[in-house]
Structures are given as C-alpha cells and as structure tokens.
Amino acid sequence: MTTLDNWKMTIENLQSQDELDKAKILFLGKAGLLTQEMKTLGSLTVDQKKEKGKALNILRENINQAFLQKKEFFDDIILNEKINAEAVDVTLTTRPRAQGKLHLLSQVMEDIETYFGNLGFKLEMGPDVDDENNNFNALNIPQHHPARQSQDTFYLNSRDANNKNLLRTHTSNIQTHILKNQKPPMRVLALGRAYRSDDIDATHTPMFHQAEVFVIDKNITMGHLKATIIDFLRFFFDEKDLAVRFRPSFFPFTEPSAEVDIKMKGRDWMEILGCGLIHPNVLDNCSVDKTIYQGFAAGMGIERLTMLKYGIKDIRQLYENDQRFLNAYGRV
Ligand code: DAH
C-alpha cells in the first residue's frame, strides 16, 4: 500500500516516467494523499494546525524535490538511449569505391609529353578554334587544297569571308601561333584535339587527337629529324630494334617531306606519321628569318598510335567509355 509514510521508497522504486506521472497524481493531485492530509487540518486546534501545517509543507517540498530528481534520472536515460541510437560506428569499414583510371588516350599523351619533355620540348596546346590563315595559309596550304573543302573542315560563323573561323583540322596551327609569337631557338610539342567533318566508323571520328613536334634552330637537318623520330618510336612501341623507314612524300608545310613506316615484330610495314623540314614559306609567313633558322616538324595521330600499340581494332572503343574497356586499359 502506498501511503504518505513510505513516499520516499515509492518514489525511489519508480521504473519509468509513466509511473512517475501517476505517482505524482497519487501524492500531490487534487484528491491525492497529501491533499487529503491537508484537509484534516480543519479539525485541529490552532497550535496543532500550526505545527502539522508546517510539517506538511515541508513534506510537500521534499516530495516535489524527490520527483524532480527522479525525472532528471529518467531524462538522462532517454538522452543516453538517443545518443547511442544515433551514434556512428567509425570503426565500420566503408563500402568499396571504384577508383577512376587514366583513359588510354590520356596515358599515351602523358607518355609522349614525358618523353619529349625530357628532351626539352615545351608543351603547347594552342587554340581549338582558329582561322584559315593560321590553320591553312601560314602553313603554305593552297586555296584549292582538298582539306579546305567544307566536307573536310568544320567552318564556323565568321565576319571575314576571306579568313573564316574553323575548328582546327590539325594541331599544326599551333606551329603558326608559336612561330609568330615566340623567338627561336625552340623545341615544341604541340598536342591536342583536331576536327574533321568525317563520318564515324572503325577508323574515323570527327574529333581526334594529334601530337606534333617541331624544332627551330640553326643548322637543323634531316639527320636531327630522323634521330628524334626513330628514338621516339622505339621508346613508344617499346622495341629497341624497331625497324623504321622514311619514304619521300609531300606536305605543303615541309620540304623535303617524308612519311614514316614502322615494322613491329611479326607484322607488316605500317605508316605511322608524316614529317619533314619546315618549308621556307612557312618560316616567311611567320616572320622567322630563314637565312638564320631551319626547322623540322613531325605530326602523328594519337588514336592511330594508341590503336597500333594496344591492338585496338575500332577507334570508337576509345570514346564509348565502356566500363570493361576503361578497366582493362586504364592506368591508375
Ligand atoms: N598536319 C598533318 C595532318 O594533319 C600532319 C603532319 C604531317 C604534320 C607532316 C607535320 C608534318 O608537322 O611534317 O595530317
């Protein structure tokens, strides 16, 4: 039986906030035990009333205090439960996350950059959007040249009908910019995207990448060009005896010009790049003194190099970003 006498124990034994609410009504409510006790005061003498009234008031204080303490105790339990429930287990291992890899084309460009960088070639990326003067005229590519036809070149809206804007058709436009704006001697690796209005098939895409190396200095000869190219190709294809041959050819911006073939182990001769000594007209067009300086240049397709080295048969695989392809050829 709960009585006013055992209030202390009763409150101490409360198990929950709910029980506490009920006990509060039982002791302190309008019809509660303490209120009932107060009502008995009326039948007492003035002195007894004084004494008992004082005692009951103290008792009420004490009971209130005990309820408050008990409530704090329950509040603490609830708070701790909440903190535990919301806790993050920092010792839990994370879910595995796929790590991105360097795309094969980026790897090849990075390798080329590193190789030529070590030889003192400065990387230039030039503008992708250029004009006919820089992309064609300065490079001695005549007006009637097929590369200038609109089925080969993406022309852009242009104010000057005689010098239309376009997406560069090769990274040779970088040569124009550098020759015009920097002082020789120079060694440059021109690297970036080129655009041609081609169909998309196993060997063509309207956007592709080219690397062009060129050197301007005094007394530059075909010998410098040949050594540079042969060493590079042997490094790139990782065959120290790779057979390399130079065939006479024609490019408007070089004279003499050559096409270069390689013969990888167990395979036929394959054309790999074009090169030559920079045409005197190009030097003139870019205000480089041809009586003092000569130069060589070589241009190659990054996709072609990549496909030959890694045995990729369809250029489109380089752009589809199939996860299996990216994982198989990606480099971390
Ligand atoms: N610009 C040529 C092209 O887009 C590639 C090229 C060939 C660049 C011979 C050169 C070179 O510098 O000497 O097809």
* Domains in the chain, CATH or no CATH each: 4-86 (no CATH), 104-329 (3.30.930.10)
Q: Which of 130, 148, 170 to mutate to test the pocket of ligand 1 (most atoms within 8 A of CB)?
A: 170
- pLDDT over 70 for what percent of the chain? 100
pLDDT of residue 89: 83
- Above 90 in pLDDT, residue 200? yes
CA dist list (Å): 250 to 194, 274, 279:
20, 9, 11
Q: If DSSP codes are grouped into helix, strand and coil, which group holds residue 278?
A: strand
State how far the Cα of 299 lies from the Cα of 134, in Å rounded to an integer: 16
Distance CA 275, CA 213 (A): 9
pLDDT in tens, 145-182: 988 888 899 999 989 999 999 999 999 999 999 999 99
Tokens of 229: 């190219």
pLDDT at 97: 85
pLDDT band at 125 (very low <50, low <70, confident <90, very high): very high
* Beta-sheet strands, E only, within 158-268: 165-167, 186-195, 207-217, 243-251, 254-263
User: SS3 sequence, 134-187?
Assistant: HHCHHHCCCCCCHHHCCCCCCECCCCCCCCCEEECCCCHHHHHHHHHHCCCCEE
Q: What pLDDT score does 189 carry?
A: 98
Which stretch of DSSP H or E encloses residue 270? strand 269-278
Give the model confidence (pLDDT) of 230-240 as tens digits: 999 999 999 99
pLDDT at position 258 is: 98
pLDDT at 90: 86
Over residues 23-51, the pLDDT tens digits come to 999 999 999 999 998 899 889 899 999 99
Q: Which residues pair with 155 in a beta bridge?
A: 166
Task: Please tell me if the CB atom of residue 109 comes closer than 6 angstroms to any atom of ligand 1.
Answer: no
Span between the terminal Cα atoms of the chain, in Å = 77
Q: 3-class DSSP state for residue 43?
A: helix
- Give CA separation, 130 vs 135, 167, 180, 249, 292, in Å: 7, 6, 14, 27, 29
Q: Does the global pTM surpass 0.75?
A: no
pLDDT at residue number 2: 83
Q: What is the C-alpha to C-alpha distance for residues 293 and 288, in angstroms, rounded to an integer?
A: 7
CA-closest candidate to residue 122, choices 71, 176, 185, 61: 185
Residue entry with tokens 């003194």: 289
Q: Is the bond into 185 cis (omega within 30 degrees of 0)?
A: yes
pLDDT reported for residue 56: 92
CA–centroid distance, 264 to ligand 1, in Å, is: 22
Give yes or no for residue 282 CB within 6 A of ligand 1. Answer: no
Strand (E) or helix (H) holding 320: helix 317-320
**Over 80: is that where the pLDDT of 1 sits?**
no
pLDDT of residue 27: 93
Q: Over 80: is that where the pLDDT of 15 sits?
A: yes
State in Å: Cα 200 to ligand 1 middle: 21
Give mean pLDDT, residues 65-79. 94
Degrees to nearest 5, angle at CA 121 with 315 and 165: 60
Alpha-carbon distance 63 to 159, whole Å? 94
> Looking at residue 147, what is its pLDDT?
85
pLDDT (tens digit per residue) in 87-124: 888 888 888 888 889 999 999 999 999 999 999 999 99
- The mean pLDDT value for 220-237 works out to 98
199-203, 272-276, 283-287: which range is least confident on average?
199-203
In 3D space, the residue among 132, 176, 137 whose CA is nearest the CA of residue 158 turns out to be 132
Using the mean position of ligand 1's atoms as its centre, give its distance from the Cα of residue 275 in Å: 6
Task: Please state, rounded to an integer, the average pLDDT across all residues of the chain.
Answer: 94
